[in-house]
């Protein structure tokens, strides 16, 4: 069984969860991904979350990837997996 911490860095997410739960995936919240092209703070947070997760042997998932520039930055800095409109939009089950 594998667990993921969704929306890491927002709401009730806590570093304590990283120690106490058997987490396999750490998901970077879309609010940090959205402005990585223009915001140094968001770039620093994304890099830090990736480094932290990898140090703890977790795979990193970036949420809300919508542009090639976001994807390029995240991939170049070690992100393992990606979610977002860049890769596909939601569709009805019948279309899937």
> Where in the sequence numbering do the catalytic residues fall?
63
3-class SS letters over the chain: CCEEEEEECCCCCCHHHHHHCCEEEEEECHHHHCCCCCCHHHHHHHHHHHHHHHHCCCEEEECCCCCHHHHHHHHHCCCCEECCCCCCCCCCCCCC
Q: How far from the centroid of its chain's Cα atoms is residue 81's Cα?
A: 8
């Amino acid at each position: 069984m594998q667990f993921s911490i969704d929306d890491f860095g927002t709401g009730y997410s806590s570093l304590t969860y990283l120690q106490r739960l058997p987490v396999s995936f750490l998901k970077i919240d879309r609010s940090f991904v959205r402005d990585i092209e223009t915001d140094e703070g968001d770039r620093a947070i994304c890099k830090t979350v990736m480094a932290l997760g990898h140090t703890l042997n977790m795979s990193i998932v970036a949420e809300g990837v919508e542009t090639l520039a976001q994807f390029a930055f995240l991939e170049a800095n070690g992100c393992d997996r990606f979610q977002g409109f860049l890769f596909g939009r939601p569709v009805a089950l019948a279309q899937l």
